[in-house]
């Protein structure tokens, strides 16, 4: 993982590659962070650090515990959760700077298109559907009194799903 990041960064230094922490349990993630540090990568100095391999465990407390511990062990690091479903957002979304998910398109792939969408057989790749889903998720987070972290607002963030928009 670290070698790939370094290689990509060397090949195209003008592109915003994201270092990613991978693991199964917390020690694995912390070991991965340590490998970046040993390679001279200061994770607090990059725009965002991805956290992978949690999508299958979101219904458990493991993913929330991992995200909580990463925030505590890596102060100042902005985390991006890969494949975070709404259940994960409700549990630990306040700890993330951003997240992405294909969950938005699950229903869109299995139903007819929205009435206003006439150019496609379903809304699986539809911006209108995606933005509607995003609005519903942000509204639900606000309705459930979900507190969005604002401690890292000083840096710009580009993401498919920026949790700070809800604050």
pLDDT (0 to 100) of residue 90? 83
Range with the poorest average pLDDT among 16-20, 85-89, 131-135, 159-163: 159-163
* pLDDT tens digits, 83-119: 888 888 888 888 999 888 887 788 889 989 999 998 8
* pLDDT tens digits, 20-42: 999 999 999 999 999 999 999 99
First-to-last alpha carbon distance for the chain, in angstroms, is 33
User: Is 6 in a helix, a strand, or coil?
Assistant: helix
**What tokens does 107 get?**
């229903």
pLDDT confidence tier of residue 166, bands split at 50, 70 and 90: very low
Set out the domains of the chain in order of their start, with CATH numbers.
Answer: 2-102+145-166 (3.20.20)
- What span, in angstroms and rounded, lies between the C-alpha atoms of 47 and 17? 10
- Strands, E, within 54-141: which ranges? 79-81, 98-99
Helices (H), ranges, 12-103: 26-38, 61-73, 86-92
pLDDT confidence tier of residue 53, bands split at 50, 70 and 90: confident
CA dihedral 28, 35, 102, 84 (to 10 degrees): 50
Provide the percentage of residues in the chain whose pLDDT is more than 90. Answer: 50
pTM: 0.78
């Amino acid at each position: 993982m670290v070698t790939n990041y370094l290689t990509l960064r060397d090949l195209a230094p003008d592109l915003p590659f994201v270092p990613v922490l991978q693991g199964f349990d917390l020690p694995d993630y912390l070991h991965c962070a340590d490998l970046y540090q040993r390679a001279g990568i200061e994770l607090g100095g990059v725009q965002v650090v991805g956290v992978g391999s949690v999508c299958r465990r979101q219904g458990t407390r493991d993913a929330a515990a991992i995200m909580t511990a990463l925030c505590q062990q890596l102060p100042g690091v902005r985390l991006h959760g890969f494949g975070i479903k709404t259940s994960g957002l409700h549990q630990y979304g306040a700890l993330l700077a951003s997240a992405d998910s294909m969950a938005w398109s699950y229903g869109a792939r299995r139903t007819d298109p929205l009435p206003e969408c006439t150019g496609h057989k379903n809304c699986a790749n539809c911006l209108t559907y995606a933005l509607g889903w995003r609005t519903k998720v942000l509204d639900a987070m606000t309705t459930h009194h979900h507190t969005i972290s604002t401690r890292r607002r000083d840096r710009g963030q580009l993401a498919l799903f920026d949790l700070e928009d809800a604050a």
